[in-house]
Amino acid sequence: MRYISTRGQAAPASFSEILLEGLASDGGLYMPETWPTVTFDELEAWKSLPYADLAAKLLAKFATDIPPETLLMLTRAAYTPEVFQHARNGEDAKKIFPVRQLEKGIFLLQLSNGPTLAFKDAAMQILGQLLSWALEKQNKTLTILGATSGDTGSAAIHALRGKKRVKVAMLSPAGRMSDFQRAQMYSVLDANVMNIAVKGMFDDCQDLVKTLNADSSFKAKHHLGAVNSINWARVVAQTAYYISAYLQTIKVIGDSVSFCVPSGNFGNAFAGLVAKFMGVPIDRIIVATNENDVLHRALQTGRYTPTDVAQATSSPSMDITKASNFERAVFEAADHDGKLVAEMWTRLANERKIDFAKDYPAVWGRLASLGLSSSTSTHKDRLAKIKLAHERWGIFIDPHTADGVKGALELRESEETMIILETAQAGKFAPTIREALGIEPPIPKGFENLTSLQQKVETIKVDPEALKAKIDNFA
């Protein structure tokens, strides 16, 4: 299996080669050259597998340059009930990502039982295993340099802490995360983890990362790498839980289901499309957005108009206006024509929009037929859905999952089997839950004293030289 860039210029590469890469050299994102398929017979056989084994079978179709038994060893190390132990509601942590029926036709895929209580652990844990394995094999070391507004950095730190050969330098905006998120990151004291609070906004953090990456001698000296959500391994790791959810929900293989996915960078939703491209009977993927509804508007109107600044909302991990992974869906709709996608994105840079409906009607037609639907929501909607979930289903949901519940209830057709993806636990976002319900969300075992634990963090101004000095000292 070879990987090609959505912009058509970068040389094709293997799974192991792109494991440590962010953007391709032409500025595009990597995609498999063709889609591997999964047959109904395979799905039948996968039904009885533990999650780790199912994930290994799926990965083997994409990581053809890694021996299947190695993949199995790595998925079995990543997906254990000990790592995904924060089950609630009497659910079974052994299932890793259990599906819970909420009512007739509506299900919740519980993805937030991992160490940071958000779905990003699902992909980050296996990525950590793959990275360690690859570095060991190639006798290399790596410094992961990232910027986070919360969940991604936290999941990366928890997946990579204590690992030999990997160092993590994670930038976060000083004073702009919740107490819980801050404590979750800064209380990791392992020597290979450095938290850097930047006196600025998330965008400043991201710009610093870009600046250091653009300095090729600094980048080479420290072997800088990234684990952001355009990383292909992260996307495909998420495809595994779509298949697991499908198998947990349907009566017979061949029944179709739909998913509703709280979306920011479109990585999670795209992972669902991958399952569909492979032949899993998925009817639609609903892209649930919040007030930052660029994707919703694009899918409704055919005009993609990302803005520069995201609006701050109560589902902050979805406060993104440039959904990077959307380019992958467009590449698919453009029949893997990298030249055409490159032209569209040049246009985007110049005209700040792509008018698919007007300028690329064939691509728009195919984009519209991928099976994507979409919704948007407001703070008021989130409060209402948190309340509804508590009263009608007896569960606590977080504000991001609430965006998903809104989309699912609004768009579900009768007889449609709808699986909502839970992206975080309510306990991470206590103030919004308090506002909705007037009570505290449950705090999972082990997190009671989180905010009073010792923290380790370095603080810098928005200054590339200051950041370089920190990394020079750290490495």
The catalytic residue positions are 120
Instruction: Determine which residue in the list 28, 146, 262, 427 makes contact with ligand PLP, applying CB under 6 A.
Output: 262
Q: Which residue, 117 or 243, is less far from ligand PLP as judged by CB? A: 117
Which residues fall within 8 angstroms of residue 119, CB to CB, at 6 or more apart? 111, 112, 238, 268, 421, 422, 423, 424
Instruction: Determine which residue in the list 114, 146, 264, 427 makes contact with ligand PLP, applying CB under 6 A.
Output: 264
Q: Which residue, 167 or 400, is less far from ligand PLP as judged by CB? A: 400
**193, HSE (Cβ side, Cα atoms, 13 Å):** 22
Neighbouring C-beta atoms of residue 28, cutoff 10 Å = 23
Which one of 65-73, 124-132, 249-257, 262-270 is the stretch in contact with ligand PLP (CB under 6 A)?
262-270
Which residues fall within 8 angstroms of residue 317, CB to CB, at 6 or more apart? 118, 149, 150, 151, 264, 400, 423, 424
Instruction: Determine which residue in the list 120, 158, 167, 328 makes contact with ligand PLP, applying CB under 6 A.
Output: 120
Neighbouring C-beta atoms of residue 203, cutoff 10 Å = 15
Which one of 98-106, 199-207, 264-272, 382-390 is the stretch in contact with ligand PLP (CB under 6 A)?
264-272
Which residues fall within 8 angstroms of residue 268, CB to CB, at 6 or more apart? 119, 238, 261, 262, 421, 423
**3-class SS shares of the chain: helix, strand, coil, % to 5:** 45, 15, 40
Instruction: Determine which residue in the list 206, 317, 373, 374 makes contact with ligand PLP, applying CB under 6 A.
Output: 317
Position 154 contacts ligand PLP (CB under 6 A)? no
336 sits in the region (left: phi over 0; alpha: psi -120 to 50; else beta) called: left
Q: Which residue, 21 or 319, is less far from ligand PLP as judged by CB? A: 319
* Shortest Å distance, C-beta 424 to ligand PLP: 4
SS3 assignment, position 361: helix
Residues 217-236 that bind ligand PLP (CB under 6 A): 229
Which one of 57-65, 172-180, 266-274, 441-449 is the stretch in contact with ligand PLP (CB under 6 A)?
266-274
Phi, psi of 373 (to 5 degrees): -120, 175
Position 266 contacts ligand PLP (CB under 6 A)? yes
Neighbouring C-beta atoms of residue 152, cutoff 10 Å = 24
* Shortest Å distance, C-beta 30 to ligand PLP: 16
Tokens of 43: 């799905």
* Shortest Å distance, C-beta 261 to ligand PLP: 7
Tokens of 436: 């909705």
Tokens of 227: 């684990």
Q: Spell 250-284 as b/e; 16+ CB within 10 A means b.
A: beebeeebbbbbbbbbbbbbbbbbbbbbbebebbb
Q: Spell 331-353 as b/e; 16+ CB within 10 A means b.
A: bbbbebebebbbbbbeebeeeee
Instruction: Determine which residue in the list 181, 184, 265, 425 makes contact with ligand PLP, applying CB under 6 A.
Output: 265
Instruction: Determine which residue in the list 24, 55, 118, 198 makes contact with ligand PLP, applying CB under 6 A.
Output: 118
* Shortest Å distance, C-beta 25 to ligand PLP: 24
Instruction: Determine which residue in the list 424, 426, 433, 471 makes contact with ligand PLP, applying CB under 6 A.
Output: 424
Q: Which residue, 135 or 226, is less far from ligand PLP as judged by CB? A: 226
For CA atoms 401, 403, 407, 410, give the dihedral sign: positive
Q: Which residue, 132 or 373, is less far from ligand PLP as judged by CB? A: 373
Instruction: Determine which residue in the list 19, 318, 329, 386 makes contact with ligand PLP, applying CB under 6 A.
Output: 318
* Shortest Å distance, C-beta 38 to ligand PLP: 22
Q: Which residue, 10 or 318, is less far from ligand PLP as judged by CB? A: 318
Is there a contact between 389 and 409 (Cβ–Cβ < 8 Å)? no
Which one of 259-267, 356-364, 386-394, 449-457 is the stretch in contact with ligand PLP (CB under 6 A)?
259-267
Is there a contact between 266 and 326 (Cβ–Cβ < 8 Å)? yes
Task: In whole angstroms, give the CA distance from residue 158 to residue 446.
Answer: 15
* Shortest Å distance, C-beta 422 to ligand PLP: 9
Give the N- to C-terminal CA distance of the chain in Å, as an integer.
35
Position 267 contacts ligand PLP (CB under 6 A)? yes
Instruction: Determine which residue in the list 151, 291, 332, 381 makes contact with ligand PLP, applying CB under 6 A.
Output: 151
Position 146 contacts ligand PLP (CB under 6 A)? no
Residues 276-305 that bind ligand PLP (CB under 6 A): none
Which one of 34-42, 44-52, 212-220, 267-275 is the stretch in contact with ligand PLP (CB under 6 A)?
267-275
Position 400 contacts ligand PLP (CB under 6 A)? yes
Q: Which residues bind ligand PLP (CB under 6 A)?
A: 118, 120, 151, 229, 262-269, 317-318, 400, 423-424
